[in-house]
Amino acid sequence: MMLQSLPKQFFAALVARAGMASAAGHDVINLGQGNPDMPTPAHIVEALQAAAANPLNHKYPPFRGHRYLKEAAAGFYEREYGVRLEPDSEVAVLFGGKTGLVEVVQCLLNPGDTALVPDPGYPDYWSGIELARAVMERMPLNAENGFLPDYGTISPEAADRAKLMFLNYPNNPTGAVATEAFFRDTVKFAGQHNICVVHDFAYAALGYDGVRPPSYLQTPGAKDNGIEIYTLSKTYNMAGWRAAFAVGNASVIESLNLLQDHMYVSLFGAVQEAAAAALSGPQACVRENLDRYEARRNLLIGGLSELGWKVEAPGGSFFAWLPVPEGYTSQSFADLLLDEAHVVVAPGIGFGEYGEGYVRVGLVSDEARLAEAVKRIAGLKLFAPDRS
């Protein structure tokens, strides 16, 4: 019964539709997913190769991960954000950020408990809540408020019921970036209502126009009521490696570690060595990645704007959140682009009720393919160029 109640895997259906179009012989440009298209930097791959040859890594690793990886994560946070972490009590090694996002709900919520969830937001937040038999209270993200939740619109009753809140900045799907002032408001709101904040920092390295996305843990008092989940998937193009960690409140970190004691014997040791090499080694690859995505963003937004499509450039992440033309729903517009232009985008309704009216476009194709996508969309003649 629990499996039947899980939300539909939105991205699986998207992949299936794109696959059908490709199988029919069409040249499909898939901008609907968030899978980094560039390889993992060579020095990280080489660290894995060397570590894989070490017989010590062929044995079970420590249940809670090697201390050197937790030390690397703590060192990374101090270097990048000025946040000091105790490796043994404030860092948990995760099998990818997605796993941690589902696990933390199992740790903190009982059946019937309430979680505050951004809408639109990453659908796997819903999955963890459903598995816990908990209840969602949606926090609308609107353009008028910079796609940040407005805590003043949450009823006092709902706030008092809530035990957990998910946030995600830079944001998937909207591309919004949080401000330090917003995080200060979050710490205050969470403290007033005894809510644990789980900040999904998956796109931490991707802030544009010289803006560096802040860590939630940089905010005074953040560790009193929250954790942050950091994945290496986007920062270092390591999506398939499933290497991530949670940091912050020691009680929540202990809960995650305890749950994982009963599920795993941590990551393959060679992957842990490579992850530590990524966090502690040369960081030029991170800047190169950011520059690449920013160039792609500028090409895409500039090209679509020239068509007369009134779109806003994302402040972060590798997604653009684009309003659909009048007369279309997010799904019907996504269907039109796939059927007529063979361009895949993700309909906003897949991210929640307040995602309706938008489509999400990924920047995970090279500039030539993005330019081709713009050309194909132009061919549909849906927009009137602004000649003023």
Q: In terms of pLDDT, which residue wins out, 387 or 116?
A: 116
- Which pLDDT does position 386 carry in this prediction? 66
- How distant, in Å, are the alpha carbons of 258, 262, 368 from that of 254? 6, 13, 47
Beta-sheet strand order (sheet of 91-94): 91-94, 244-248, 226-231, 196-200, 162-167, 114-119, 135-140
Average pLDDT, integer, range 202-221: 98
- Which pLDDT does position 24 carry in this prediction? 87
Q: What is the pLDDT of residues 338-370, one digit of tens each?
A: 999 999 999 999 999 999 999 999 999 999 999
Three-class DSSP category at 162: strand
Would you say residue 1 has pLDDT above 60? no
Using a pLDDT cut of 90, give the percent of the chain over it: 90
Using a pLDDT cut of 70, give the percent of the chain over it: 98
**What does DSSP assign to residue 263?**
T
Among 30-34, 39-43, 137-141, 247-251, whose mean pLDDT is lowest? 30-34
* DSSP state letters, 231-256: EHHHHTT-GGG--EEEEE-HHHHHHH
Average pLDDT, integer, range 47-52: 98
- Which pLDDT does position 15 carry in this prediction? 79
Q: What's the one-letter identity of residue 59?
A: K
* DSSP state letters, 65-122: --HHHHHHHHHHHHHHH-----HHHHEEEESSHHHHHHHHHHHH--TT-EEEEEES--
- Which pLDDT does position 166 carry in this prediction? 98
Domain ranges of the chain: 2-40+284-379, 42-280
Second CATH level (architecture) for the domain 42-280:
3-Layer(aba) Sandwich (3.40)
**Ramachandran category for residue 147: left, alpha or beta (phi over 0 → left; psi -120 to 50 → alpha):** left
The model's confidence at residue 3, banded by pLDDT at 50, 70 and 90, is: confident
Cα separation, 341 vs 372, whole angstroms: 10
Answer yes or no: pTM beyond 0.85.
yes
Cα separation, 332 vs 325, whole angstroms: 10
- Which pLDDT does position 309 carry in this prediction? 96
- Mean pLDDT, the chain, whole residue set: 95
Would you say residue 311 has pLDDT above 50? yes
- CATH superfamily entry for domain 2-40+284-379: Aspartate Aminotransferase, domain 1 (3.90.1150.10)
Q: What is the pLDDT of residues 120-132, one digit of tens each?
A: 999 999 999 999 9
Among 21-35, 56-70, 225-239, whose mean pLDDT is lowest? 21-35
Q: Long-range contacts: 255-264, Cβ < 8 Å, 24+?
A: 255/104, 255/107, 255/108, 256/92, 256/94, 256/100, 256/103, 256/104, 256/107, 257/64, 257/92, 258/107, 259/103, 259/106, 259/107, 260/63, 260/64, 260/92, 260/94, 260/103, 261/63, 261/64, 264/63, 264/95
- Which pLDDT does position 379 carry in this prediction? 96
Q: What is the pLDDT of residues 160-169, one digit of tens each?
A: 999 999 999 9
Average pLDDT, integer, range 44-72: 98
The model's confidence at residue 310, banded by pLDDT at 50, 70 and 90, is: very high
Q: Nearest-CA neighbor of 334 among 6, 8, 21, 7?
A: 21
Would you say residue 308 has pLDDT above 60? yes
Would you say residue 88 has pLDDT above 60? yes
